[in-house]
Amino acid sequence: MSIPRIRLGMIGGGQDAFIGAVHRMASRLDDRYAFVAGALSSTPERSIASGLALGLDPARSYPDYPAMLEGEAARSDGIEAVAIVTPNHVHVPAAKACLAAGMHVICDKPLAASLAEARELEAVAAGSDRIVAVTYNYTGYPMVRQARAMVAAGEIGKVRVVQVEYAQGWLATKLEDSGQKQAAWRTDPARSGAGGALGDIGTHAFNLAEFVSGGEVESVACDLQATVPGRRLDDNAQMLLRFKGGARGGLWASQIAVGHENGLRLRIYGETGSLEWLQEEPNALRVSRLGDTTRIVTRAGGGVGTEAARVTRIPSGHPEGYLEAFATIYTEVARAIDARRAGMPIPAEVRFPTIMDGVRGMAFIEAAVRSSTSGGRWTAVA
């Protein structure tokens, strides 16, 4: 018996928007969604034009998201879920409106422009039976799932140190002054919030460190820099981390690291071993154990556990990369929506970043900013 596709709408992600196309491709990869409606830009003309360019029914290419939610609510075949892929300041107002309209929400990260705003959304979501997911997509890689399972099983012993870095070089110059759309809003506090590189990629690093280690960062000591003259938000973030339970760590997030493209790297050191994973080499996990030879674990020969195997689509030797990891999040959310449709609990093995992860990311941003403005003082992640 076939499972009906989830009817998906999108807010943002129109012309010249990188991440909108990624969300659309990810939603289609496992054939679980049908993209049927959109309010794809901040101006009505561009919004409608973007929808038409993507082949949407003209009647379902809307000038703005209130019109989309109203129009779709009146249809028997209206949308069931909405992907929000706007600049950060629109996330919470749009998500609140979607929840009020009875729609599930898949929101790009970070969840909000401020922690207070994120907590408002959390309160709204708590009073709804709708799902709110946040696309921390790096948690969808098979070898990230494998690393998490190995740490949870005690295969490297108690975690002592967690080192994570996310290095890019695309903002090494004042690109925002050139009219480049992605640079312009990411460096604008009114649209991005208090974090620049911190919010854009630092939250990914933070989320990955907690997801794989199974630990919770309780405080940070942070130094934020806007290294490019005239830039209004940080483009380089360096900090120390203290985890509950005693582990220590470090996080570096930079968008002025010349020579780096998308250098997300995670290293976890335990009492008896360590793990290392690089996003640019996503299908390999480096595993070291005391008194043993360091080895590279891949999906070859069924050498991974059920956590990784469950989100693997293609045979070993064929890389599972960025789009596939993004699609894993969408498909996990689809399974959760299917369970809600049927009035059943979400299956225990289904795993995707929730609104709680989104709120936690905002708490991390706020703590890091407060720490930096106080000269790097240790600051609790509330």
Mean pLDDT of the chain: 96
For the entire predicted model, the pTM comes to 0.96
- The pLDDT of residue 1 is 53
Q: What is the tens place of the pLDDT at every residue in 119-164?
A: 999 999 999 999 999 999 999 999 999 999 999 999 999 999 999 9
Handedness of CA 193, 198, 203, 206 (dihedral sign): negative
Tens digit of each residue's pLDDT (9 = 90 or more) over 204-239: 999 999 999 999 999 999 999 999 999 999 999 999
Environment class of 170 (CB within 10 Å of its CB; exposed 0-12, middle 13-18, buried 19+): middle
Give percent of the chain with pLDDT exceeding 70. 99
Q: What are phi and psi of 249, to 5 degrees?
A: -165, 180
Both tokens of 116, joined, read 């207070």
Q: Compute the average pLDDT of residues 345-354.
A: 96
* pLDDT, average across residues 318-335: 96
pLDDT at 294 over 80: yes
The whole-number average pLDDT for the span 59-64 is 97
Q: Where are the domains of the chain?
A: 6-138+328-354, 141-314+359-380
The distance between the two most distant Cα atoms of the chain, rounded to a whole number of Å, is: 66
Per DSSP bridges, beta strands 263-270 and 285-289 are: unpaired
- For the beta sheet containing 379-380, the strands, ordered from the edge strand earlier in sequence to the opposite edge, are 295-297, 285-289, 273-278, 263-270, 159-167, 248-254, 236-243, 217-225, 379-380
Which CATH number is associated with domain 6-138+328-354?
3.40.50.720
What pLDDT does 17 receive? 86
CA distances (Å), origin 374, targets 221, 223, 370? 10, 9, 6
Whole-angstrom distance, CA of residue 181 vs CA of residue 176:
7
3-state secondary structure labels for all residues of the chain: CCCCCEEEEEECCCCCCHHHHHHHHHHHHCCCEEEEEEECCCCHHHHHHHHHHCCCCHHHECCCHHHHHHHHHCCCCCCCEEEECCCHHHHHHHHHHHHHCCCEEEECCCCCCCHHHHHHHHHHHHCCCCCEEECCHHHHCHHHHHHHHHHHCCCCCCEEEEEEEEECCCCCCCHHHHCCHHHHHHCCHHHHCCCCHHHHHHHHHHHHHHHHHCCCEEEEEEEEECCCCCCCCCCEEEEEEEECCCCEEEEEEECCCCCCCCEEEEEEEECCEEEEEECCCCCCEEEEECCCCCEEECCHHHCCCHHHHCCCCCCCCCCCCHHHHHHHHHHHHHHHHHHHHCCCCCCCCCCCCEHHHHHHHHHHHHHHHHHHHCCCCCEECC
- Compute the average pLDDT of residues 324-347: 96
- What's the rounded Cα separation, in Å, for the pair 344 and 91? 28
Contact assessment for residue 234 and residue 196, using Cβ atoms and an 8 Å cutoff: yes
- Rounded Cα gap, residues 151 and 153, in angstroms: 5
Q: Describe the strand order of the beta sheet including 6-11 as a list of residue ranges.
A: 33-39, 6-11, 81-84, 104-107, 132-134
**Assigned CATH for 141-314+359-380:** 3.30.360.10
Q: What is the pLDDT of residue 256?
A: 98
pLDDT given at position 299:
84
